[in-house]
A and B are shown apart, each in its own frame.
Chain A
Amino acid sequence: MTFTAPVLNYAQLAPMLIVLGGALIGVLIEAFGPRASRHASQLFITVASLVAAFAALVRVRNQSSVDAAMGSVGFDGAGVLLQGTILIIALLSVFLIADQENFTALAAAVPGSSEERESLQLDLRVTEVYPLTLFAVAGMLLFPVSTDLITLFVALEMLSLPLYLMAGLSRRRRLMSQESALKYFLLGAFSSAFLLFGVAYLYGYSNSVTFAGIQASITGGSGNDVFLLLGIAFISVGLLFKVGAVPFHAWSPDVYQGAPTAITGFMAAATKVAAFGAILRIFYVAFANAEWQWKPALVLIAIVTMVFGSVVAITQRDVKRMLAYSSIAHAGFLLAGVIALSKSGLDASIFYLFAYGIATVGAFGVVTLVRDSAGEVTDLNRWSGLGKRSPLVASVFAFFLLAFAGIPLTSGFIGKFSIFSAAYETGSTAILIAGVLSSAIAAFFYIRVIVLMFFKDPVEDGTSVVIPSALTTTTIAVTSLITLILGIFPAPLINFIESSAFFIR
């Protein structure tokens, strides 16, 4: 066996490399940059590398190849669309992260200590969140394009580790934030152990760790399918945990509530895109020919997830927890697109991911604005009458809720419509019924919040809407605009997705 030098296609890897490069520059700024200008330079580097990565992605958008990196990365239309979505969401989230009110001044200081007070007075900032965000983004970019199990596992950890850390950096209620980080970490590590066990069985089954190799042994294997079954089951547990599907959702309400709101928005939107990208690729490419092995279980999980998320959301008294359960319900809707296992299912899933991700970032952006003297107010009771006090902010939030509910003239309607029609085309009537039913339940609680905001009297307890910074304003304006445009003129994007979304095998 002679050594063959590896050949990497740097143009196709450029988006990931640029983001990683930006993260490394950020680390160097942390080490050597003067503290006064650190925040500004970190923000500049982060935004610049995200924009540059997007430009690099646009440049290679029409290429496709199976060996962008020696068979570890599959570069194709669906990958480009998912990576573009992640970069756009990341950019909008970075604008929210730039608001210093979100993060603790000094993460190492014990809550309530004099050290913490001093650091708050000195206006210190945890500017490390910028490189950490970029590392997470790089992992997210890699996750949906990885075509072997090693890269899949490494990318999963790469996107998770920074998120575990950032979940614990909240400025207010720090103990709760740190606890949410611990919970996220322990359950995340637990699920990645399951994923790895699945990797082991798939390797045993197929004698290969690439998706193509697994697919080849599914079609041409000579043994029985026990190891394949075990592999698919364990890998699915690991991946479904990341998207928060029932029964692997236990972390998500607590982490959504405890993490800094800007991070919650980023995590909720971008992780979902990346994880569903990976799920779509592995099920569409590697497991497609073993459909009968996983479809029944996945249908059951999708239905339970939709219904559970929608029903439990009704009982929530906290905005962030409510959005968490709503995101669980959305994970169920998105699983319908995976189950469809067709071109239309793929197109619909990508559209849905884009629309849902954008609306989520916007909704969490609005949540950061409602505050009292002690920080953000997330108790729903205290949101009552918000529409009378600041009609614009309340209307924008109501609009995002309507998008989540899937009311016509919002992007959510088009997304739900296309994903359910894709599921129906492939004969999953049960999914369709459960989906429509839980959408109706979900609409009920979204509308309840809207009623609370507009038709109840405001409570006088110091809750107010702060004037957003220019960057936060940009995020909220852009996200609501995109949500509206996609609701009215979805055709250009749908056509674009239809023409370019495919998985290379």
Chain B
Amino acid sequence: MNPYNYLYVSALLFTIGAVGVVVRRNAIVVFMCVELMLNAANLTLVTFSRINGTLDGQVVAFFTMVVAACEVVVGLAIIVTIYRSRRSASVDDASLLKR
């Protein structure tokens, strides 16, 4: 087996995540799809780290996890605020801005 196979998996997961962001409407599910994309990027980094024989890729993946954790806190706080105001977490109900 070729380590490149992991790259294919990661590319597929990234694509699926990107599609999810576009087609799903629940803000929380959209955000989970973003997390899937970040995870896919991490898998690419770890795989390249192994192919290249250096650990820098793993360090990047480590930073991604920290940053993603911060992002989750902020994002979920915003989503909960909106939910409290509007009792709905659908992106489409956020319609005041649509023209």
Contact = CB atoms under 8 A, between A and B. Distances in A.
B59 to A, nearest CB: 7
Interface residues of A, number: 43
Given A157-B71, A185-B74, A200-B45, A176 B97 contact: yes
B9 to A, nearest CB: 13
Dominant SS at the A interface? helix
Interface string A182-200: 1101100110111011011
B48 to A, nearest CB: 4
A108 B81 CA distance: 7
Contacts of B49: 203
A196 B35 CA distance: 12
Interface stretch (A148-156, A333-341, A373-381, A394-402): A148-156
Most buried by A among B21, B40, B67: B67
A190 B71 CA distance: 11
Interface in A446-482: none
A25 interface: no
A324 to B, nearest CB: 12
A186 B85 contact: no
A209 interface: yes
B96 to A, nearest CB: 4
A179 interface: yes
A182 B56 contact: no
A410 to B, nearest CB: 31
Nearest to A315: B99
A201 B85 contact: no
Contacts of A194: 37
A150 B60 contact: yes
Contacts of A110: 84-85
Given A154-B63, A186-B31, A207-B54, A258 B45 contact: no
A197 B41 contact: yes
B52 A209 contact: no
Interface residues of B, number: 45
B78 interface: yes
A168 interface: yes
A186 B97 CA distance: 15
Contact of A193 (B41, B70, B94): B41
Contact of A165 (B41, B64, B74): B74
A203 B61 CA distance: 11
B16 interface: no
B63 A175 contact: no
A486 interface: no
A41 interface: no
A181 interface: yes
A200 B41 contact: yes
B91 interface: yes
A107 B81 contact: yes
Contact of B82 (A150, A157, A179, A209): A179
A199 B60 CA distance: 9
Given A168-B78, A182-B78, A189-B31, A157 B85 contact: no
Interface in A5-52: none
A429 B88 CA distance: 51
A200 B85 contact: no
Contacts of B75: 164, 185-186, 189
A203 B56 CA distance: 8
Interface string B68-99: 00110011011101101110000100101100
Most buried by A among B44, B47, B53: B44
A239 to B, nearest CB: 16
A237 B79 CA distance: 25
A190 B33 CA distance: 9
Nearest to A188: B71
A182 B60 contact: no
B14 A197 contact: yes
A427 interface: no
Interface in B18-71: 18, 21, 27, 30-31, 34, 37-38, 40-42, 44-45, 47-49, 51-54, 56-57, 59-60, 63-64, 67, 70-71
Interface string A80-122: 0000000000000000000000000001101100000000000
Most buried by A among B53, B71, B84, B97: B97
B96 A175 contact: yes
A265 to B, nearest CB: 19
24 contacts: A107-B81, A108-B81, A150-B63, A157-B67, A164-B75, A164-B78, A168-B78, A175-B86, A182-B79, A182-B91, A183-B97, A186-B21, A186-B27, A186-B30, A186-B91, A189-B75, A190-B21, A190-B34, A193-B17, A200-B44, A203-B57, A204-B47, A204-B52, A207-B56
Interface of A: 107-108, 110-111, 149-150, 153-154, 157, 161, 164-165, 168, 173-176, 178-183, 185-186, 189-190, 192-194, 196-197, 199-201, 203-204, 207-209, 254, 257-258
Given A154-B67, A179-B96, A190-B21, 16 more contacts: A150-B63, A153-B60, A153-B67, A154-B63, A168-B81, A178-B81, A181-B78, A183-B94, A186-B30, A186-B91, A192-B71, A193-B37, A197-B41, A200-B41, A200-B60, A209-B57
